Amino acid sequence: MSEKKKTENKLIAENRKARFDYTIVDTLEAGLELRGSEVKSLRTHGAQLKDSYVILKNGEAFLQGAHIAPYMASSYLNHEPERLRRLLLSSVELDRIDRAMAEKGLTCVPLKVYFKGRWAKVEIALVKGKKAADKRESMKTRDVERELRQAKSRR
C-alpha cells in the first residue's frame, strides 16, 4: 500500500488586522489564479493583504486590493501589483458567499495566502465588523493572556 504524501502549508502573507477589525463568522479555502511572475514573487514572500477584500462579479469571486510585488528578475512582461485576481471556488461556495453578503450584511476578506503543495491558496472569511467597544475588549483579553504567559514563564 502506498501512503498519501502529506502536504504542508507554507505561509506567505497574513492579514492580522482583519482578525482585529472583524468578527469571523465562517472561513473557506480558495485557489488563486496567478501569472508566472506572481507565483515567483509569492515564493519570495512579496505579498500584502492589508485593505484587501473579495468582490463578486458575474458569478465569479475576485480578490481586490491585494498587493503582490513585481518580481525583480522578470522581464518586461511583469504583472500589475494590485490587479484583480480570480478566486477559484465551486458554484456552491460562491452561492453561499453571495447569500451571506446580501442577506446578513457580511463582508468577505482574505485572512492569509499560502502554498499548499505547489498550489497558491487563499483563506477567505465571511466577517462582521466590530464596534469600538468590541475592539477594546479584544485588546484587554490579549493583554491578560500575555500577562498570564509571562507569569507562567517566570515560574
**CATH number of domain containing 119:** 2.40.280.10
Ramachandran area for residue 65 (φ above 0: left; ψ -120 to 50: alpha; else beta) = left
Query: Which set of grid coordinates corresponds to residue 149?
Result: 504567559
Q: Per the structure, how many domains does the chain have? A: 1
Domain contains 35: yes
Q: Give me the domain span that covers residue 117.
A: 9-130
**Cα distance between residue 61 and residue 98, in whole Å:** 9
93-139 residue pLDDT tens: 999 999 999 988 899 999 999 999 989 999 999 999 888 888 888 88
51-72 residue pLDDT tens: 999 999 999 999 999 999 888 8
**Cα distance between residue 80 and residue 69, in whole Å:** 8
Q: Residue 48: is its pLDDT beyond 50?
A: yes
How much of the chain is in helix, strand and coil states, percent to nearest 5? 30, 35, 30
